[in-house]
Amino acid sequence: MEGDDKTAVSTRQRMVASRNNKQGNEPATDNGRVYLKKEVGLVKGVAIIMGFIIGSGIFMAPQGILRGTYSVGMSLVVWVICGIMSSVSALCYAELGSTIHKSGGTYTYILQAYGDLPGFLVSWANVLVINPSGSALNALTFGTYVSEYVTPGECLPLSVVTKLFSILAMMLCVFINCMSVRHSASAQVAFTTSKVLILVIIIGCGIVKMIQGETRHLDPTVSFEGTSADVFGYGTALYQGLWAFAGWDVLNLLTEEVKNSKRNIPLAICISMTSVLVIYLFTNIAYFTLLSADEVLASNAVAVTFAERVLGPMAWIVPLGVCISTFGNLLSGLLAMPRNAYVAGREGHMVKALSMVSVTRHTPLPSIVFQGTIATIMVSIGDFNSVLNYFSFAAWLFFGFGFLAIPVLRYRFPDHHRPFKVPIVLPIAAAIFCLFMVLAPIISEPTLAYLYLVAILMGIGVIFYVLFVWKKYRPGFMDAVSMFIQKMFLVAPSSYLEPDEN
């Protein structure tokens, strides 16, 4: 069976390569190997990072941050702290991404630094829960806003119409990412430009109001009144702010597809994080030129309330901007997140079929479809926010070990070339911050549900690791499944090529 598989794949590869050569295209294989093409340059890299970060967070998070800080001034301080910590985290990953040239992000770095079992558990949690639940949440946010446009006042949250639009958006994003990395990245440029323009409109309105003297809520003498003294209570506010900045590591998931990754990953991270921090800070200042703390707390969507006050009949621009932002966020997530399953499959930590690549499209088609399918199931179920909340602190635990991979790898491989290098204090500080983010919600709202849920998932993960990775047990039907997937999607097992090989 295995020999037949290889013969069939090899024959298809030669046929596709011959057809591509006749059409003047780049061949799909290199010496019989299928690989991911480098389609992402600096501009597309910046667009992918900003496109993934700027989602619904900037429109929704101000309320949550204000609820945790109880003052306008301190809420702005939290935004700055979240931006700085996200930037520090991104710089740490810039070193890892320019040093380790494999895709996969946190999974790859933990695998390289700590070995098989920790790497497997990261991929297990990310692929099955964290990544698809994030995509499902973005899809539901998109579906909620679109359904309000189509049937205003008639749809409840998570209604059939909302779920329908969410699933349609999911399917469209899966289709685009399956067809072409280049087209998906180009779409990211367009979506990122659109959502930045929406935020620039909000900032412009805020500047006009400041010129008109609307600064009473921003006056330092009153803006810090009522500030909360509960240190661990700030964990909730930080979670909200960091959620708005989530996605700074997205390009690390695509390392193998980034042109000149040694240069472009650090540069794209620096440009995008600086831009997002400035845009977010000025957007929040704009909100408070018109809205008081009580008005922000009473609003379901701060940006929409602000637009209704300033833009009048043109206020529809902002809800449209939220739709664009969440769809672009979903598209970017379904471009990058499946690379986790793809690399894990290639390393033997997931089903091998997930590591296969389309011989015509150069996309990890099975892993994209797999992640999209899990996310679609979550959208259909609807009530999974608690699961996402429980595992968000597990994600910070993974990030903490990812940051500590920097000193570990420097110690283990001192002679390895590092084109971009951060001061050692940065990953240590980032890891300490991650520890705070893990402990804060448990201390402020003590519950064993966090630990129980994660312990169950990780316990099952260890069982699967022992059976399928360590003992290498392979069910007999897997050969037939792999052959079916290869024929259905026209995919083949892929190879990792060192940067100088392609």
Per-residue pLDDT of the chain (502 residues), as tens digits, is: 444 444 444 445 444 444 444 444 444 455 556 778 888 999 999 999 999 999 878 887 888 888 888 889 999 999 999 999 999 999 999 999 999 989 999 999 999 999 999 999 999 989 988 889 888 888 888 887 787 777 655 545 557 888 889 999 999 999 999 998 989 988 988 999 998 998 999 999 999 999 988 888 888 888 888 887 777 667 778 888 888 898 999 999 999 999 999 999 999 999 999 999 999 999 999 999 988 888 888 887 788 888 888 888 888 888 888 888 889 999 999 999 999 999 999 999 999 999 999 988 889 999 999 999 999 998 887 655 555 566 677 788 899 999 999 999 999 999 888 999 999 999 999 999 999 888 776 776 666 666 676 777 788 899 999 999 998 888 888 888 889 999 888 898 887 666 654 4
Amino acid of residue 256: E
103-to-11, 96, 251, 346, 498 alpha-carbon distances in Å:
28, 11, 9, 11, 12
Q: With a threshold of 0.75, does the pTM exceed it?
A: yes
Q: Give residue 21's pLDDT.
A: 44
Question: Angle at the Cα of 371 (from 366 to 375), degrees rounded to 5?
Answer: 145
CB 237 within 8 A of CB 64: yes
At 30, phi and psi to the nearest 5? Answer: -130, 105
- Token couple for 198: 């929406």
Question: Which domains, from first to last, does the chain contain?
Answer: 36-496 (1.20.1740.10)
pLDDT at position 5 is 46
CA separation for the pair 198, 275 (Å, rounded):
14
Q: CB of 87 within 8 A of CB of 273?
A: yes
From the list 96, 47, 72, 131, the residue with the least C-alpha distance to 296 is 72
In 311-360, where does DSSP find H-type helix?
317-336, 338-346
Specify the pLDDT at position 14: 47
Element (H, E) at 493: strand 491-493
Question: Does residue 398 come out as left (phi exceeding 0), alpha (psi in the -120 to 50 range) or beta?
Answer: alpha
Q: What is the pLDDT of residue 7?
A: 46
Name the nearest CA neighbour of 257 among 327, 346, 138, 343: 343
Question: Rounded to an integer, what distance in angstroms lies between the CA atom of residue 356 and that of residue 349?
Answer: 14
pLDDT number for residue 387: 57
Beta bridge mates, 29: 34
d(CA 46, CA 384): 31
